[in-house]
Amino acid sequence: MNTSEIAKLDIKLLIAFVTILEKGSVSKAAEELNMTQPALSKNLQRLRDIFHDQLFIRQAYGLMPTARANELADLIYPIIRSLQELILPSQLDLSKLDRRFRLMIDEGDLEIFIEPLLSYLQQEAPEIQMSINAWNDSYLEPIIDGKVDLGIMHIKHTPSSVRSKLVGYMETCIIISDGHPLYRVDQPTFDDLIQHRVVTHHMKPYKGHSYESIEPKLRQQGYNVKTHLETDSLMAALRAVKQGMALVTTRSVGELCLNLMNANKHFHPIRLLPIPEKILELDEFKGRHPIHIFWHEHFHNDLAHRWLREKIIELMRNSPWMHRE
């Protein structure tokens, strides 16, 4: 280890670097750090000498980081966050925690844990605020930008700045009402089902969802499966079921539909059917799809953030619809 080179760095230089990077201006960074501009310019020159790079290039609109500066940023930000952890309280007082957490999750996955989570927060962390939205075409951008605290869905790959953890596996099912021609058939086959109209709840806008891999395999076997309705609206899906369409969704949504149907006399009786064996043979997950929770690296050691994500993981894994294998 070249300790003589490391000794040239100090915390103030690292803070100066990230502040100039964020502000895009030495004068604005100096104001933010309560320093004089000449003093900060001197720190910048020391950084340039240490890293043997200009680091920032003057443009008409401000300072533009060099390629080397962007590389350094990926290394320096985790160091700054680790140093911040040193001065954070070692214990979390949930009763006084006043913070808004933003989640992105679709309805089928949300149903797994939302009721016990809200009950827990009401009792233990009454000042917590939650913002929950479904996924949209922006995909991981809100996570990467730090605008969303936690994302939950099946995801195969994340960028290096995003951490993920496998929570478990969610079972899928098919819902039909007494308006469906196969309602009274005890064990309808896949061939029986595809002869009738189909609705899917939460067809994902990202690559990697199950239907994307199964549909081409079905076509190779001569099946032309048409999804007559794709929706992220549970009410639209339920109305389609009432009209005689078969709904493909998660088991948690299936149980929720059963409860809604039983409580509302205007809905038709429904049945939950297992995914046909033919589909399971083509599905790499065999009808049980992995669910991940993921967050940006800069939240990883955040005490309150860690508490919330661990609580959500606990509640999801305790759900009767979530399988560990």
Domains detected in the chain: 3-87 (1.10.10.10), 100-325 (3.40.190.290)
Q: How far, in Å, CA of 208 to CA of 206, rounded?
A: 7
115 burial (CB, 10 Å; 0-12 / 13-18 / 19+) is exposed
pLDDT tier at 90, thresholds 50, 70, 90: low
Which amino acid appears at position 263 of this protein?
A
pLDDT band at 208 (very low <50, low <70, confident <90, very high): very low
**Which ranges in the chain belong to alpha helices (H)?**
3-6, 11-23, 26-32, 37-51, 67-87, 107-110, 114-124, 141-144, 190-193, 210-220, 234-242, 251-263, 277-282, 303-317
* CA dist., res. 85 & res. 79, Å (int): 10
- Closest-CA residue to 266 (of 238, 247, 246): 238
Q: Label the pairing between strands 162-177 and 246-250.
A: antiparallel
Q: pLDDT-based confidence at 42, cuts 50/70/90?
A: very high
DSSP letter at 156?
A: S
Q: What is the DSSP letter of 266?
A: T
> What mean pLDDT is reported for the chain?
84
The confidence score (pLDDT) of residue 281 equals 81
d(Cα 322, Cα 23) in Å, to the nearest integer? 45
Residue 188 confidence (pLDDT)? 84
What pLDDT does residue 80 have?
A: 83
Give this prediction's pTM: 0.65
Pick the residue with more confidence: 162 or 261?
Answer: 162
Beta strands 100-105 and 150-153, pairing class = parallel
Whole-number Cα distances in Å, 17 to 79, 87, 269, 299:
12, 21, 64, 21
Residues in Cβ contact with 191 at an 8 Å cutoff, skipping those fewer than 6 apart: 278
The pLDDT of residue 36 is above 60: yes
Strand partners, 290: 169
Q: What pLDDT was estimated at residue 167?
A: 93
For residues 269 and 178, is the Cβ–Cβ distance under 8 A? Answer: yes
pLDDT, tens digit, 9 for 90 and up, residues 110-158:
888 999 999 999 999 999 999 998 887 777 888 888 889 999 988 777 8
